[in-house]
């Protein structure tokens, strides 16, 4: 049997909301250049869609991090697997994340990146699960608040699968294939 998946946020709603976020960001930065830093791999789909909808000079960079801990809980100590290619100093940095859950990863990462003296630093997340928060992190731009369910699709994975689904889904039943 295959995993049973149901749709939580359909593609048209996702794209409409990312459209709004792009417009909001374009207004907020008032013509200034913006440097998007995507957190691999989950943020990639959101980052591409968002970047297309920002009408400002945009540059892109990526980081890959993991948080020590077991499979279900991050510890909050972040290991950097891939750092940004370019310096953040003096730039309007917008961190782009797929989902904020406990907030452990992001609160640690924000501290590290703030020390690199960006001109400004903000956080955009496609999804937020505020009911799971352990460390205080507030995104400046949030796509959707979601309930405490494990979600997949549009970049988010379950054991590296399902990142390519064009919607946000939930696994209702895990199959045996």
155 binds Mg ion (CB under 5 A): no
User: Strands 120-128 and 141-145: what pairing?
Assistant: parallel
Smallest gap, in angstroms, from Cβ of residue 119 to ligand IMP? 25
Torsion of CA 102, 35, 29, 78, to 10 degrees: 20
Local structure of residue 30 (DSSP, 8 states):
T
Q: Which long-range contacts (CB under 8 A, 24 or more apart) does 64-73 make?
A: 64/39, 64/40, 65/39, 65/105, 65/109, 67/104, 67/105, 67/108, 73/102
Under rule CB under 5 A, which residues in 86-105 are in contact with Mg ion? none
Smallest gap, in angstroms, from Cβ of residue 98 to Mg ion? 5
Q: In the stretch 13-52, what mask flags binding to Mg ion with x, by CB under 5 A?
A: -----------------------------x----------
Under rule CB under 6 A, which residues in 70-109 are in contact with ligand IMP? 74, 97-106
Told to judge if 101 belongs to the known catalytic residues of this protein, a careful annotator would answer yes
Under rule CB under 6 A, which residues in 13-72 are in contact with ligand IMP? 42, 67
CA distance 135 to 53: 30
Q: Which is nearer to ligand IMP, 66 or 87 (CB)?
A: 66
Local structure of residue 156 (DSSP, 8 states):
B
Catalog residues that contact Mg ion under the rule CB under 5 A.
42
Catalog residues that contact ligand IMP under the rule CB under 6 A.
42, 67, 74, 97-106, 150-151, 156
């Amino acid at each position: 049997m295959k995993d049973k998946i149901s749709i939580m946020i359909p593609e048209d709603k996702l794209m409409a909301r990312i459209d709004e976020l792009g417009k909001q960001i374009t207004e907020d930065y008032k013509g200034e250049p913006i440097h998007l830093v995507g957190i691999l791999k989950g943020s990639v789909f959101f980052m591409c869609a968002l970047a297309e909808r920002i009408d400002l000079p945009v540059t892109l960079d990526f980081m890959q991090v993991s948080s020590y801990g077991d499979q279900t809980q991050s510890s909050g100590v972040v290991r950097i697997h891939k750092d940004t290619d370019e310096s953040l100093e003096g730039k309007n940095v917008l961190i782009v994340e797929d989902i904020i859950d406990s907030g452990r990863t992001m609160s640690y990462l924000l501290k590290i990146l703030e020390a690199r003296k960006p001109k400004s630093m903000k956080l955009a997340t496609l999804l937020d699960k505020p009911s799971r928060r352990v460390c205080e992190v507030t995104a400046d731009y949030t796509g959707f608040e979601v309930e405490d369910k494990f979600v997949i699709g549009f970049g988010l994975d379950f054991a590296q699968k399902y990142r390519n689904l064009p919607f946000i889904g939930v696994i209702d039943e895990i199959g045996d294939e």
